[in-house]
Amino acid sequence: MRTITLSLAASLILILSLPIQAKNTLRFCQGEMPPYIFKQQGEKPVTGIWPTVFQEVFKNRTDITIESVVLPWKRCQKEVLYGKSDGFFMATKTPKRANDYLLLPSFHTLRIPYYYSTKAYPQGFTWNSYNDLKDKTIGILRGYTYFADFHQAWDNKQLNAEYGDDIEINLKKLFNNRLDLVWDCERIVNYHLKKLHYTDVIKESTGKHHIHEVGQHIGLSRKGNALKYQNFIIKRLTEMQASGVLEEIINQDY
Protein backbone atom coordinates (compact mmCIF):
# COMPACT_ATOMS: atom_id res chain seq x y z
CA MET A 1 0.00 0.00 0.00
CA ARG A 2 2.89 2.33 0.91
CA THR A 3 4.52 1.61 -2.48
CA ILE A 4 1.29 2.46 -4.34
CA THR A 5 0.90 5.70 -2.35
CA LEU A 6 4.47 6.74 -3.10
CA SER A 7 4.00 5.95 -6.79
CA LEU A 8 0.84 8.05 -6.93
CA ALA A 9 2.59 10.89 -5.16
CA ALA A 10 5.54 10.70 -7.53
CA SER A 11 3.20 10.70 -10.54
CA LEU A 12 1.33 13.71 -9.18
CA ILE A 13 4.59 15.62 -8.67
CA LEU A 14 5.66 14.76 -12.22
CA ILE A 15 2.34 15.94 -13.69
CA LEU A 16 2.40 19.18 -11.72
CA SER A 17 5.98 19.87 -12.79
CA LEU A 18 5.25 19.60 -16.51
CA PRO A 19 5.41 23.00 -18.33
CA ILE A 20 1.73 22.97 -19.34
CA GLN A 21 1.33 26.75 -19.06
CA ALA A 22 4.51 27.47 -21.01
CA LYS A 23 3.34 25.25 -23.87
CA ASN A 24 0.07 27.18 -24.12
CA THR A 25 1.52 30.66 -23.76
CA LEU A 26 2.10 32.60 -26.98
CA ARG A 27 4.55 35.46 -26.54
CA PHE A 28 4.22 38.43 -28.91
CA CYS A 29 6.55 41.41 -28.83
CA GLN A 30 6.66 44.88 -30.34
CA GLY A 31 8.58 48.11 -29.96
CA GLU A 32 6.76 50.66 -27.83
CA MET A 33 4.37 52.59 -30.07
CA PRO A 34 1.26 53.98 -28.36
CA PRO A 35 -1.62 53.51 -28.90
CA TYR A 36 -0.77 50.25 -30.70
CA ILE A 37 1.13 49.00 -27.67
CA PHE A 38 2.03 50.71 -24.40
CA LYS A 39 5.05 50.00 -22.24
CA GLN A 40 4.19 48.11 -19.08
CA GLN A 41 3.63 50.27 -16.01
CA GLY A 42 4.51 48.48 -12.77
CA GLU A 43 2.61 45.22 -12.39
CA LYS A 44 -0.10 46.18 -14.87
CA PRO A 45 -0.25 44.09 -18.06
CA VAL A 46 0.83 45.54 -21.39
CA THR A 47 -2.10 47.30 -23.07
CA GLY A 48 -2.91 48.88 -26.42
CA ILE A 49 -4.59 48.11 -29.71
CA TRP A 50 -2.75 44.91 -30.60
CA PRO A 51 -2.81 43.27 -27.14
CA THR A 52 -6.56 43.96 -27.13
CA VAL A 53 -6.96 42.54 -30.65
CA PHE A 54 -5.15 39.33 -29.69
CA GLN A 55 -7.12 38.90 -26.48
CA GLU A 56 -10.24 39.08 -28.68
CA VAL A 57 -8.77 36.60 -31.21
CA PHE A 58 -8.16 33.99 -28.51
CA LYS A 59 -10.97 34.89 -26.08
CA ASN A 60 -12.67 31.51 -26.47
CA ARG A 61 -9.45 29.50 -26.37
CA THR A 62 -9.03 28.85 -22.66
CA ASP A 63 -6.05 26.64 -23.45
CA ILE A 64 -4.01 29.61 -24.76
CA THR A 65 -2.60 32.60 -22.91
CA ILE A 66 -1.28 35.64 -24.80
CA GLU A 67 1.79 37.34 -23.35
CA SER A 68 2.41 40.82 -24.79
CA VAL A 69 5.92 42.21 -24.35
CA VAL A 70 7.40 45.61 -25.21
CA LEU A 71 11.01 45.37 -26.40
CA PRO A 72 13.34 47.51 -28.49
CA TRP A 73 12.25 46.79 -32.06
CA LYS A 74 15.56 45.22 -33.19
CA ARG A 75 15.60 42.92 -30.18
CA CYS A 76 11.98 41.95 -30.78
CA GLN A 77 12.72 40.96 -34.37
CA LYS A 78 15.72 38.90 -33.24
CA GLU A 79 13.65 37.12 -30.58
CA VAL A 80 11.01 36.21 -33.16
CA LEU A 81 13.65 35.09 -35.63
CA TYR A 82 15.15 32.62 -33.16
CA GLY A 83 11.87 31.53 -31.58
CA LYS A 84 12.25 33.15 -28.16
CA SER A 85 9.10 35.13 -28.98
CA ASP A 86 6.34 33.58 -31.08
CA GLY A 87 5.66 36.66 -33.17
CA PHE A 88 5.42 40.42 -33.50
CA PHE A 89 2.17 42.36 -33.83
CA MET A 90 2.84 44.58 -36.83
CA ALA A 91 5.50 45.43 -39.40
CA THR A 92 5.77 46.59 -43.00
CA LYS A 93 6.49 43.77 -45.42
CA THR A 94 9.99 43.66 -46.87
CA PRO A 95 11.70 40.81 -48.78
CA LYS A 96 13.95 40.09 -45.80
CA ARG A 97 11.05 39.94 -43.34
CA ALA A 98 9.05 37.75 -45.71
CA ASN A 99 12.01 35.36 -45.73
CA ASP A 100 12.75 35.48 -41.99
CA TYR A 101 9.17 35.27 -40.69
CA LEU A 102 5.79 33.96 -41.70
CA LEU A 103 3.90 37.18 -42.47
CA LEU A 104 0.12 36.89 -42.26
CA PRO A 105 -2.16 38.77 -44.67
CA SER A 106 -2.52 42.45 -43.81
CA PHE A 107 -5.54 43.34 -41.69
CA HIS A 108 -4.53 46.94 -40.99
CA THR A 109 -3.22 49.80 -43.13
CA LEU A 110 -1.14 52.63 -41.74
CA ARG A 111 -1.90 56.09 -43.05
CA ILE A 112 1.33 58.10 -42.93
CA PRO A 113 0.98 61.85 -43.59
CA TYR A 114 3.44 64.72 -43.26
CA TYR A 115 2.80 67.17 -40.43
CA TYR A 116 3.69 70.86 -40.12
CA SER A 117 3.42 73.55 -37.45
CA THR A 118 0.98 76.41 -37.95
CA LYS A 119 3.46 78.61 -36.08
CA ALA A 120 5.86 78.24 -39.02
CA TYR A 121 3.22 77.97 -41.75
CA PRO A 122 0.10 79.82 -40.58
CA GLN A 123 -1.46 79.58 -44.06
CA GLY A 124 -0.99 75.81 -44.17
CA PHE A 125 1.54 73.63 -45.98
CA THR A 126 0.84 72.06 -49.37
CA TRP A 127 3.26 70.09 -51.51
CA ASN A 128 2.89 68.04 -54.70
CA SER A 129 6.38 66.67 -55.38
CA TYR A 130 9.64 66.22 -53.53
CA ASN A 131 10.94 69.32 -55.33
CA ASP A 132 8.53 71.29 -53.13
CA LEU A 133 10.39 70.00 -50.08
CA LYS A 134 13.76 71.40 -51.11
CA ASP A 135 15.57 72.90 -48.12
CA LYS A 136 13.00 71.38 -45.75
CA THR A 137 14.14 69.20 -42.86
CA ILE A 138 11.85 66.25 -42.12
CA GLY A 139 11.82 64.37 -38.83
CA ILE A 140 11.72 60.57 -39.13
CA LEU A 141 12.34 57.74 -36.66
CA ARG A 142 15.55 55.79 -36.40
CA GLY A 143 15.28 52.06 -37.04
CA TYR A 144 12.12 52.11 -39.16
CA THR A 145 11.65 51.30 -42.84
CA TYR A 146 10.85 54.21 -45.18
CA PHE A 147 9.85 54.20 -48.82
CA ALA A 148 12.39 53.94 -51.64
CA ASP A 149 11.21 57.14 -53.33
CA PHE A 150 11.76 59.06 -50.09
CA HIS A 151 15.32 57.77 -49.77
CA GLN A 152 15.96 58.55 -53.43
CA ALA A 153 14.77 62.13 -52.95
CA TRP A 154 16.97 62.38 -49.86
CA ASP A 155 19.98 61.03 -51.79
CA ASN A 156 19.24 63.52 -54.59
CA LYS A 157 19.20 66.34 -52.02
CA GLN A 158 15.60 67.21 -52.83
CA LEU A 159 14.99 67.17 -49.11
CA ASN A 160 16.83 66.71 -45.82
CA ALA A 161 15.83 64.20 -43.16
CA GLU A 162 16.82 64.03 -39.52
CA TYR A 163 16.55 60.85 -37.47
CA GLY A 164 15.00 60.95 -34.03
CA ASP A 165 14.73 58.24 -31.40
CA ASP A 166 11.22 59.11 -30.29
CA ILE A 167 8.10 60.52 -31.95
CA GLU A 168 7.47 62.91 -29.05
CA ILE A 169 10.94 64.39 -29.48
CA ASN A 170 10.25 64.95 -33.18
CA LEU A 171 6.90 66.57 -32.47
CA LYS A 172 8.43 68.85 -29.84
CA LYS A 173 11.08 69.91 -32.36
CA LEU A 174 8.36 70.60 -34.90
CA PHE A 175 6.40 72.61 -32.35
CA ASN A 176 9.51 74.67 -31.57
CA ASN A 177 10.38 75.22 -35.27
CA ARG A 178 13.46 72.99 -35.14
CA LEU A 179 11.98 70.79 -37.89
CA ASP A 180 9.94 71.82 -40.92
CA LEU A 181 7.90 68.62 -41.14
CA VAL A 182 7.42 65.31 -39.35
CA TRP A 183 6.51 62.15 -41.24
CA ASP A 184 4.82 59.47 -39.17
CA CYS A 185 1.76 57.27 -38.68
CA GLU A 186 -1.49 59.18 -38.25
CA ARG A 187 -2.80 57.02 -35.38
CA ILE A 188 0.44 57.37 -33.42
CA VAL A 189 0.86 61.09 -34.10
CA ASN A 190 -2.72 61.88 -33.09
CA TYR A 191 -2.24 60.07 -29.79
CA HIS A 192 0.89 62.10 -28.98
CA LEU A 193 -0.57 65.41 -30.19
CA LYS A 194 -3.43 64.97 -27.74
CA LYS A 195 -1.02 64.00 -24.97
CA LEU A 196 1.22 67.03 -25.64
CA HIS A 197 -1.73 69.41 -26.19
CA TYR A 198 -0.43 70.25 -29.69
CA THR A 199 -3.60 69.49 -31.65
CA ASP A 200 -4.31 73.18 -32.36
CA VAL A 201 -0.78 73.85 -33.61
CA ILE A 202 0.42 70.77 -35.52
CA LYS A 203 -1.62 69.84 -38.58
CA GLU A 204 -1.52 67.42 -41.49
CA SER A 205 -0.13 68.82 -44.73
CA THR A 206 -2.06 68.71 -47.99
CA GLY A 207 -1.13 68.04 -51.61
CA LYS A 208 -0.90 65.36 -54.25
CA HIS A 209 1.60 63.03 -52.58
CA HIS A 210 1.42 64.03 -48.95
CA ILE A 211 0.17 60.65 -47.69
CA HIS A 212 1.60 57.15 -47.90
CA GLU A 213 -0.46 54.11 -47.00
CA VAL A 214 1.10 50.77 -46.20
CA GLY A 215 -0.31 47.47 -44.98
CA GLN A 216 0.89 46.06 -41.70
CA HIS A 217 1.54 42.37 -41.16
CA ILE A 218 1.60 40.15 -38.11
CA GLY A 219 4.83 38.15 -38.18
CA LEU A 220 5.09 34.63 -36.76
CA SER A 221 8.32 32.92 -35.83
CA ARG A 222 9.17 29.98 -38.04
CA LYS A 223 10.53 28.34 -34.87
CA GLY A 224 7.75 29.30 -32.44
CA ASN A 225 4.54 27.77 -31.10
CA ALA A 226 2.24 30.27 -32.85
CA LEU A 227 2.97 28.78 -36.27
CA LYS A 228 0.40 26.02 -35.76
CA TYR A 229 -2.27 28.63 -35.00
CA GLN A 230 -1.75 30.68 -38.17
CA ASN A 231 -4.99 29.55 -39.84
CA PHE A 232 -6.95 30.10 -36.63
CA ILE A 233 -5.56 33.65 -36.27
CA ILE A 234 -6.38 34.49 -39.90
CA LYS A 235 -9.90 33.05 -39.53
CA ARG A 236 -10.61 35.02 -36.35
CA LEU A 237 -9.22 38.28 -37.74
CA THR A 238 -11.32 37.83 -40.88
CA GLU A 239 -14.42 37.35 -38.71
CA MET A 240 -13.55 40.36 -36.56
CA GLN A 241 -13.00 42.49 -39.66
CA ALA A 242 -16.34 41.45 -41.19
CA SER A 243 -18.24 42.14 -37.96
CA GLY A 244 -16.59 45.54 -37.39
CA VAL A 245 -15.03 44.45 -34.08
CA LEU A 246 -11.48 44.87 -35.41
CA GLU A 247 -12.11 48.43 -36.60
CA GLU A 248 -13.82 49.26 -33.31
CA ILE A 249 -10.77 48.13 -31.31
CA ILE A 250 -8.35 49.98 -33.59
CA ASN A 251 -10.33 53.24 -33.48
CA GLN A 252 -11.21 53.32 -29.79
CA ASP A 253 -9.70 56.03 -27.60
CA TYR A 254 -6.68 54.96 -25.53
Confidence of residue 100 (pLDDT cuts 50, 70, 90): very high
- Together in a domain, 92 and 39: yes
Percent of the chain with pLDDT over 90: 74
Q: Is 15 within a domain?
A: no
Q: Is 9 within a domain?
A: no
Q: Is 132 within a domain?
A: yes
Are the beta carbons of 90 and 108 closer than 8 angstroms?
yes
pLDDT for residue 12:
42
Strand partners, 197: none
- For all residues of the chain together, what is the average pLDDT? 89
Q: Is 189 within a domain?
A: yes
pLDDT for residue 23:
52
Contact residues for 193 (Cβ-Cβ < 8 A; gap 6+): 171, 199, 202
- Together in a domain, 147 and 88: no
pLDDT for residue 217:
98
**Of residues 165 and 171, more confidently modeled:** 171
- Together in a domain, 195 and 229: no
Mean pLDDT over residues 66-70, rounded?
96
**0.85 exceeded by pTM:** no
- Together in a domain, 118 and 209: yes
pLDDT for residue 18:
47
- Together in a domain, 114 and 208: yes
Contact residues for 97 (Cβ-Cβ < 8 A; gap 6+): 91, 103, 217, 219
The burial class, CB within 10 Å (0-12 / 13-18 / 19+), for 23 is exposed
Does the pLDDT value for residue 54 go beyond 80? yes
- Together in a domain, 119 and 195: yes
Nearest-5° Cα angle at 144, 204 to 161: 60
Q: How many domains does the chain have?
A: 2
Does the pLDDT value for residue 22 go beyond 80? no
Q: Is 20 within a domain?
A: no
Mean pLDDT over residues 176-204, rounded?
97
Confidence of residue 250 (pLDDT cuts 50, 70, 90): very high
The burial class, CB within 10 Å (0-12 / 13-18 / 19+), for 131 is exposed
Are the beta carbons of 250 and 108 closer than 8 angstroms?
yes
Question: Residue 39 is part of a domain; what is its CATH number?
Answer: 3.40.190.10
Are the beta carbons of 67 and 27 closer than 8 angstroms?
yes
Confidence of residue 212 (pLDDT cuts 50, 70, 90): confident
pLDDT, tens digit, for every residue of 128-143? 998 899 889 999 998 7
**Least confident window among 20-34, 66-80, 218-232:** 20-34
Range of the domain at 180: 110-213
pLDDT for residue 15:
44
CA 199, chain centre distance (Å): 23
Would you call 45 helix, strand, or coil by DSSP?
coil
The DSSP string of 158-210 is SSEEEEES-HHHHHHHHHTTS-SEEE--HHHHHHHHHHHT-TTTEEE-BSTT-
